[in-house]
Amino acid sequence: MEVTDALQQFATRMGDNTLILGHRVSEWCGHAPVLEEDIALANTALDLIGQTQFWLGLAAEIQDEGKSADDIAFLRDVWDFRNLLLLELPNDDFGRTLMRQFLFDAWQSIHLPRLALSSDPRVAAIAEKASKEVAYHVERSADTVVGLGDGSAESHKRMQAALDYLWPYVGEIFDTDEVDDVLSEAGIVTHPSSLKGEYYALIERVLTKATLSIPEDPFAHKGGRSGFRHTEHLGHILVEMQWLQRAYPGSKW
Amino acid sequence: MYAQMVKSTGNLKTRDEMSPEEAHFQDRIDAGEKIEPKDWMPEGYRKTLIRQIGQHAHSEIVGQLPEGNWITRAPTLERKAILLAKVQDEAGHGLYLYCAAETLGVSRDELTEDLLSGRMKYSSIFNYPTLNWADIGAVGWLVDGAAIMNQVPLQRTSFGPYSRAMIRICKEESFHQRQGYDIMMKMAQGSEAQKRMAQDALNRVWYPALMMFGPSDKDSVHSGQSMAWKIKINTNDELRQKFVDQTVPQAEFLGLTVPDENLKWNEEKGGYDFSEPDWNEFFEVVRGNGPCNTDRINARIKAWEDGAWVRDGLMAHAQKKSSQVAAE
């Protein structure tokens, strides 16, 4: 695999992660449990969509077919998406939404600062900017997970249920392939497997503080990162997200 | 400003009828001084302000819903980001308006309960649906435009915290209005379908936007006292006229038709003649019979009830932490 192809795949994965999670988080608009959370969720979604513009912009640039980040976001079908399955799962309650946010923020908070040292200046610049936002996201989502995990009996129960539900989707973060091998070889990315210990240490520290039990079953659902098999949920996200672009092709908005 | 028909508590008194405290209070207002939360104020002033600021805050919160309706369907990443930023601003406006109301001795939770039980209102405009993407443009252009028309003078309102909140809000609202107009420009210059969306949005939003200023002065019974207290600066009709005069040339520039056959420039008065909105419809919307009243309030009730365990959980955690600190 050529480095260029690998980098295009990588940028697509990064952009799809933030696009799909940004979509999910934005579904909360106007429905959060408290006004401060409405503001924080909108802010998080806004950062994620901003990161998407950079990553998918890079993917489009490398692809060099005259496409824009919008073309990539709005004109692909399910099989071309490369986001983690974790991020396309429905929001369910606020507890599951924040638990997922934490599990992803924790990964981003470890991954992005390494990418900021990338030998590719474009990757480094995007990661540098995004890592500042993510440092704030992870602080907030970790605090909320701790607050609700170690809160009332009801909130503890809900956070444990959220963790149990999401846990089988966490392992996909480390379902690496040739893309990761080629890019780490080229000094463009740090291989995710080398960050695995650090990631699990971080989430274990926070989840323990939240008085939650980490499920023992190591089983991991896979297929989002590779594009082989998404969940049924992604298609519905795309129906909604892409509707205007699909119904009125070629329009300027 | 999203306050309509705020009932003013207290009849307009003549100087002779005022107590020495009331006279002194009125002198301060007449001299352009700001009233601060710890200052003496008539009970009617306090109550009217709570209603007005509370209604404004509620409008910001409920106002997230019609725009939130399009975030997941925004047609480009940039439009999505701009809309998210705007809705986030509005939630922020709600937050500092609630804070301003709290300085008058009412809690945010009490105000929320009053909204959810229907004792307090929010602006009638948010009981109308957003049906196509151009509605998001029309909301920014017309709804935020009408809000700014009302809020700019309120920066000079007599109550300090409210005035300061308005100064902050006005800065952000003008950005909101510009982005709305920018969407309308793209639509009006776009494909036939886009033009149709733009005209359809204008047709539906025009009269509800005119209603935002409240009933005609001749039917507006609460204005006198509020104006003496500088809680209200201009009359409803003055602001409505100003809004029409500003907006009609913008619609013409877009190539859109304002849905009013009687709209005509009146050289003599230096403004447009225009049709009044259907006030019966307005009073029905205020009574709860707008197209979206039930859905909007149910959405807020659901958010509040579904979120109870979150608020309780975080409170329980905070209490554990503070008792740990106390024990150490």
CATH number at residue A121: 1.20.1260.10
**Contact check, Cβ <8 Å, A156/B320:** no
A252 falls within a domain: no
Amino acid A91: pLDDT: 98
Check if the beta carbon of residue B244 is closer than 8 Å to that of residue B207: no
Amino acid A146: pLDDT: 98
Does pTM surpass 0.90? yes
Residue A252's SS3 state is coil
Check if the beta carbon of residue A120 is closer than 8 Å to that of residue A127: no
Amino acid A253: pLDDT: 97
Amino acid B327: pLDDT: 82
Kindly identify which residue of chain B lies nearest to residue A144, measuring between CA atoms: B314
A198 falls within a domain: yes
Kindly identify which residue of chain A lies nearest to residue B82, measuring between CA atoms: A46
Q: Which of B72, B88, B316 sits opposite A46 (nearest CB)?
A: B88
Amino acid B224: pLDDT: 85
Amino acid B222: pLDDT: 67
Check if the beta carbon of residue B210 is closer than 8 Å to that of residue B243: yes
Q: What is the ipTM of this complex?
A: 0.97
B171 touching chain A per CB within 8 A: no
A253 falls within a domain: no
Place of tokens 């602006």: B123
The tokens for B162 are 């409210």
B186 touching chain A per CB within 8 A: yes
Check if the beta carbon of residue B51 is closer than 8 Å to that of residue B7: yes
Task: Please write the tens of the pLDDT for every residue from A16-33.
Answer: 999 999 999 999 999 999
Residue-wise pLDDT tens for chain B (328 aa)? Answer: 577 777 776 678 888 889 999 999 999 999 999 999 999 999 999 999 999 999 999 999 999 999 999 999 999 999 999 999 999 999 999 999 999 999 999 999 999 999 999 999 999 999 999 999 999 999 999 999 999 999 999 999 999 999 999 999 998 888 899 999 999 999 999 999 999 999 999 999 999 999 999 998 887 766 788 999 999 999 999 999 999 999 999 999 999 999 999 999 999 999 999 999 999 999 999 999 999 999 999 999 999 999 999 999 999 999 999 998 888 7
**Whole-angstrom distance, CA of residue A73 vs CA of residue A78:** 11
Q: Which residues of chain B are within 8 Å of residue A152 when distances are taken between CB atoms? A: 309, 312-313, 315-316
When divided into structural domains, chain A yields a total of 1
A28 falls within a domain: yes
Counting Cβ atoms within 10 Å, is residue A124 exposed (0-12), middle (13-18) or buried (19+)? Answer: middle
Task: Please write the tens of the pLDDT for every residue from A69-100.
Answer: 999 999 999 999 999 999 999 999 999 999 99
Q: Which residues of chain A are within 8 Å of residue B313 when distances are taken between CB atoms? A: 147-148, 151-152, 154-156, 158
> Number of CB pairs < 8 Å for A and B?
154
Check if the beta carbon of residue B140 is closer than 8 Å to that of residue B180: yes
- How many residues are there in chain A? 253
Check if the beta carbon of residue B312 is closer than 8 Å to that of residue A147: no
Q: Which of A49, A70, A147 sits opposite B317 (nearest CB)?
A: A147
Enumerate helices (H) and strands (E) in chain A, giving the number of each: 11, 0
Q: Which of A23, A38, A252 sits opposite B91 (nearest CB)?
A: A38
A29 falls within a domain: yes
Cβ within 8 Å of A, B 87-116: 87-88, 91-92, 94-95, 98, 108
Q: Which residues of chain B are within 8 Å of residue A49 when distances are taken between CB atoms? A: 77, 80-81, 84
Check if the beta carbon of residue B126 is closer than 8 Å to that of residue B66: yes
Place of tokens 């500003």: B246
Q: Which residues of chain A are within 8 Å of residue B61 when distances are taken between CB atoms? A: 30, 35, 38
Task: List, for chain A, all residue ranges whose pLDDT scores fall below the cut of 70.
Answer: none
Please count the other Cβ atoms lying within 10 Å of the Cβ belonging to residue B260. 18
Please count the other Cβ atoms lying within 10 Å of the Cβ belonging to residue A221. 17
Amino acid B87: pLDDT: 95
Give A177's contacts (C-beta < 8 A, 6+ positions apart): A225, A226
Amino acid B6: pLDDT: 77
Q: What is the CA radius of gyration of chain B?
A: 21
A109 falls within a domain: yes
Domain that holds residue A32: 3-247
Amino acid B101: pLDDT: 97
B259 touching chain A per CB within 8 A: no
Estimate the crossing angle of helix A94-115 against helix A196-209, to 10 degrees. Answer: 150
Q: Which of A151, A245, A250 sits opposite B313 (nearest CB)?
A: A151
Q: Which of B72, B85, B303 sits opposite A31 (nearest CB)?
A: B303
Q: What are phi and psi of B245, to 5 degrees?
A: -60, -35
B303 touching chain A per CB within 8 A: yes
